[in-house]
Amino acid sequence: MRITILRGGGLPGIVARTELDTAALPKTAAKAFASEVARANLGECPAPPTANPWPDAQLYELRVEESGPVINVRYTEQSLPESVRLLVAWVDGRPEKVESIET
C-alpha cells in the first residue's frame, strides 16, 4: 500500500508532496499503517464543498494505492475530516516518509 499526500494552496501556492509505502516500513508499522488508512474511511468520507469559499485555504489531496481500486480524495483545510487529519499526522510522524516540494 502506498499513500501520497499533496498539500498546496494558501498564499504562497507551494505544493508539498509526502509519500509513504508499506514496503519501506517494518512489519508492525505496515500493519499500523493499514489500520490508520482503514480508520480514515477515505471511501466513506463526505465530499468536500464544490466551491472553495476560502481562496487562500490550504488544500489536501490524498491518493491511496493498493491491490484494489485507487482512492483519490480532496479537501480544504476546513473540510478535512478528523479521521483523515489523524491519518495525515500519522504519516507525517513516520521517519520512512519521503517529502518533496513541487513547483
Q: List, for residues 65-95, the tens digit of each pLDDT value.
A: 988 889 999 988 888 899 999 999 999 999 9
Mean pLDDT of 13-28: 94
- Please state the rounded mean pLDDT for residues 49-69: 78
pLDDT confidence of residue 48: 55
Residue with cell 498546496: 8
The model's pTM: 0.87
Written in H, E and C, the secondary structure of the chain is CEEEEEEEECCCCCEEEEEEEHHHCCHHHHHHHHHHHHHHCCCCCCCCCCCCCCCCCEEEEEEEECCCCCEEEEEECCCCCHHHHHHHHHHHCCCCCEEEEEC
